[in-house]
Amino acid sequence: MRNFCLLFLIVLPCWCQEVPNPPSTTVLQPPVVLPDMRGIPEFSERSNFLSLVGYLRQQAFLNNGEWLTRQQSVAALNEQVESVLEGASR
């Protein structure tokens, strides 16, 4: 019983101390580098026999180490198509 009381007196002050919150750290993500998909036909040797969405996802992973979702890949392809169409209409 004496050992337990001694242990309790040693551990209790350590246990009751407040642990300060660590400073918040913001991880800055580098910009995602996406390949230019103009002129790459779907399911061809140039696209590793993948769809354009799949090829864009693969290249984004190889460049950045993170996979894009299918929705992100479709949105990126749509942005590239729109920018090409805007450039052509000027």
Q: Span 72-79, mean pLDDT?
A: 94
Q: What is the pLDDT of residue 68?
A: 93
pLDDT in tens, 10-65: 555 555 566 666 666 665 556 777 888 989 999 999 999 999 999 999 999 999 89
Nearest Cα neighbor of 58 from 38, 83, 37, 80 is 37
Q: What is the pLDDT of residue 75?
A: 94
Q: Can you give the residue ranges of every domain in the chain?
A: 42-90
Q: What is the pLDDT of residue 8?
A: 52
Q: What is the pLDDT of residue 12?
A: 53
Where helices occur in 29-69 by DSSP H, the ranges are 52-64
What DSSP element (H or E) covers 15? helix 2-16
Enter the pTM of the model.
0.62
